[in-house]
A = this chain, B = another copy of it.
Amino acid sequence: MGKYCIGVDVGGTSIKMGLFTTEGELLEKWEIPTRKENNGSGIIQDVADSIREKMKEKNMDKSDLAGIGMGVPGPTMADGHVIKCVNLGWSECDPAEELGQLLGVSVKIGNDANVAALGEKWKGGGKGHDDVVMLTLGTGVGGGVILGGRMVAGKRGVGGELGHITVNPKETEFCNCGNRGCLEQYASATGVVRVAKKLMEESTEETSLSKLSEITAKDVFDLAKAGDLVAEQAVEVLGEYLGLVIANVTLTVDPDVYVIGGGVSKAGEILIRVIEKYYQKYLCITSARARIVLAELGNEAGIYGAAKLALQE
C-alpha cells in the first residue's frame, strides 16, 4: 500500500487539496477554483487533472497513493452517492466513483462538515479521542459526529446536521431550510448578528453596536468582551442554544469531546465559557460532562479529514 494519501475539500468557491503521509503529515497543500458552470460538471475532471499534475511534479505513481478522500458540501449516502449539492449545481451523481475511474485510485467521499470533524478528530482539537462531535460556526452552522473513529453519515446523509436542530419552536423567522428555530439562526456568524440587531431594536440599553454601519459577528464578540450589554445578551443567546444542543447530543451519543470551529470560534475562550454555562444547565442527569475545545486546524480540517477518510476501510 502507498505511503501517501490525498485529501480534497470541494467548496463553492475553491477546491482545497492536500498531500499527506499516511501518518497524517501534511506535505503540501494547494487549491484550484471551483468551476460551477454546467451544473459543476467539470469539477471532478479539474480535481483529477490537478492531482495528476501534482503527482507528476512529485514524481509519484498511483501505487504511491493509499487513496484519496473527498469532502463535498451536501449530504452523501453510505454508498458514496450524492443526491444534491446546491452550492455546486450537482444532483444525482457519484463523484467518488467518477474521480476513482479517472485516476485509477480508490476514492472515499463524505459530507464536508462530517469530514472536517474527522480531521479535527485525527489531528486537531479531538486528537486522541474516538468519539468526537464538531460544530462549525460559519455563515451557517455545520456539524459532524464521529463515533468509534468513524463518521456517522446516516441513512439519509443528514447525520451530524446539527445546525438544523430545532432549539426554539416559538421562533417566527424562517431558517434557509424552511424550519423555524434552527440552531443556525442563533449560533452562526449571521445568526449572532441577526440576534444582536433584534436585541438592539427591543432594548432600551445604549449599545456601541448602534454606532456601526455594518455589524459582524466579530463586532458582537469584541463588544461583549468590552462589557456592552446588548452584545453580551446576543452572545448569551448563542451560548444558550449551543449549550442546549450539546447537552442534548450528549444525551444521544455521549462523546468524549466537542470541538468548536468556524469563523465564530475565533472569539476564543469567551465562547467556550458561555457554551459551558448552558451545557451544565441543561445536562442534569450526570455531573460528568464532555470537554468543549476550540478547533485547531482552521480551514485545513477538511483536507485532513478527507485524507483520513481515504485511509479508512
Interface residues of A (CB under 8 A from B): 75, 131, 143, 145, 147, 152-162, 164-166, 169, 175, 177-179, 240, 244, 247-256, 282-286, 288-290
Contact = CB atoms under 8 A, between A and B. Distances in A.
Given A178-B284, A179-B284, A284-B177, A165 B251 contact: yes
A145 B253 CA distance: 8
A5 to B, nearest CB: 24
Contacts of A256: 155
A283 B181 CA distance: 11
21 contacts: A131-B155, A143-B251, A145-B253, A152-B254, A154-B254, A155-B255, A156-B286, A159-B253, A159-B254, A160-B251, A160-B252, A161-B254, A165-B248, A166-B247, A166-B282, A169-B282, A177-B285, A178-B284, A179-B282, A179-B284, A252-B253
A248 to B, nearest CB: 5
Q: Which of A156, A160, A169, A288 has the most CB of B within 10 A?
A: A156
Contacts of A249: 252
A234 to B, nearest CB: 17
Q: Which of A175, A251, A285 has the most CB of B within 10 A?
A: A251
